[in-house]
Amino acid sequence: MKTDHALQLNPSLRDVPVYQPGRPIEEVARELGIDANDIIKLASNENPLGPSPMAVAAMEKALQQLHLYPDGNAFYLKRKLAEKLGLEPRHLTLGNGSNEIIEFVGHALMTRGVDVIVSQYCFAVYPLITRLFGANLVTVPAVEYGHDLPAMLAAITPQTRVLFVANPNNPTGSLARREDIVTLLNETPPHVLLVMDEAYIEFLDDPVDLLPFIEREIKPNLLLMRTFSKIYGLAGLRLGYGMGHPELIASLEKVRQPFNINSLVQAGAIAALDDNEHVARTRANNFGGMRFLEQGLRELKLRFLPSAANFVLVKVGDGHGVFDALQKQGVITRPMAGYGLPEFIRISIGTPAENARCLAALKDVLETAS
């Protein structure tokens, strides 16, 4: 019987793109009929060293209290995080991943008829949330795959509500120039929320430090976002945080679900913040892995974009074909057609053994194809 489509769905849903996540190891194993242990995943910029052991131990302890609701204000986590950042808890809001913070921004500022500015090749969740709230997406062309910050500033109109910048950017790995960031901060008008997504900032040697603007409470239209998904190795736990002026934070807190940060997250994250050794090992592994991969890609005569993060965008020709062939060899990478980069794949830095295996598979795939 033919179903009658009587539901009057929100019209904005029609234009919401479907997010394509990296493929889980178990799913690929099932599909290819191979052992999950023979598969490596370099598709989602996860931490190849795993979660912080201190975080895991703290969560094991917290398991015994799962019958209780979590602390809805995450008092101890916010206090710990604030201390680490040199801020106060009133400067912080916590999300189920920083993806949820992006959604808070949508609830607080986006509606039909307003504009949201992003760069070409931006993080996929910005357009997704913008469309979900029925706002207009203004996409500013990239320059050499990076953000054109002056052009993004010039795109601001009275209708603009939000401007998103990821620095370093995902999926390109590009890093904005310090002068351009300073200009952006100085010249973004007060009616526009400037969201600086710092998901990969902990991988940088000399990052532009925007925390003083938060601490001194002098930029009511600046929101910084960071995450526990990347350097802390807790992507599966889902925790991100926003930092801003207390008035902005109070507005974002209003749209937050009361118990969005569960008790395991709170226990694990508090412990992870003390695990400096895990962070240091992660950075060292990433630095070494990046140099190794770059060298290998040069030997394969493949073009890649210089990356400041924990992944690299590689031009392979037929991106989907190469992704597919690598996957058949048990190496999951990320095809980039969805980002308008059909000739590229994105490879996350793995352990030394994973990086070597990925390069060998890539060599094999390219030789077979030619």
Based on the shown chain and the rule CB under 6 A, indicate whether residue 229 belongs to the binding site for ligand PLP: yes
Looking at the Cβ atoms of 240 and 268, the one nearer to ligand PLP is 240
Contact call for residues 328 and 32 (beta carbons, < 8 A): yes
Q: Which residue number places its CB atom closest to ligand PLP? A: 97
Provide, rounded to whole angstroms, the least separation between the CB of residue 123 and ligand PLP: 4
170 part of the interface to ligand PLP, by CB under 6 A: yes
**At closest approach, how far in Å is the CB of 95 from ligand PLP?**
7
Of 348, 315, 318, 319, nearest to 331 (Cα)? 348
| Shortest Cβ 235–ligand PLP spacing (Å) | 6
Out of 132, 199, 214, 269, name the contact with ligand PLP by CB under 6 A. Answer: 199
Binding mask 43-62 for ligand PLP (x = CB under 6 A): --x-----------------
Quick check: 227 binds ligand PLP (CB under 6 A)?
Answer: yes
> x/- site string to ligand PLP, residues 240 to 279, per CB under 6 A?
x---------------------------------------
Binding residues for ligand PLP restricted to 85-114, rule: CB under 6 A: 97-99
- For ligand PLP, the closer of residues 330 and 335 by Cβ is 335
Cα-flanking dihedrals φ and ψ of residue 51, to 5°? -75, 160
Considering the complex, what minimum distance in angstroms separates the CB of residue 365 from ligand PLP? 26
Q: Does 355 bind ligand PLP (CB under 6 A)?
A: no
**Quick one: which of 294, 288, 361, 289 has its CA closest to 331?**
361
Instruction: Please tell me whether residue 307 binds ligand PLP under the rule CB under 6 A.
Output: no
Count of residues that bind ligand PLP according to CB under 6 A: 14
Instruction: Identify whether the C-beta of residue 310 lies closer than 8 Å to the C-beta of residue 235.
Output: no
The C-alpha atoms of residue 348 and residue 358 are separated, in whole angstroms, by 10
Is there a contact between 40 and 145 (Cβ–Cβ < 8 Å)? no
User: Considering the rule CB under 6 A, would residue 123 count as an interface residue with ligand PLP?
Assistant: yes
Give the range of 5-13, 61-69, 145-153, 229-237 binding ligand PLP by CB under 6 A. Answer: 229-237
Least Å from the CB of residue 136 to ligand PLP: 21
Nearer to ligand PLP, 100 or 365 (CB): 100
State which of residues 32, 235, 255, 366 lies at the interface with ligand PLP (CB under 6 A). 235
CB of 81 to ligand PLP, least distance (A): 14
At closest approach, how far in Å is the CB of 8 from ligand PLP?
A: 31
Should residue 354 be labelled a site residue for ligand PLP when binding is judged by CB under 6 A? no
- Residue closer to ligand PLP by CB (options 29, 279) is 279
Give me the residues that bind ligand PLP (CB under 6 A), please. Answer: 45, 97-99, 123, 166, 170, 197, 199, 227, 229-230, 235, 240
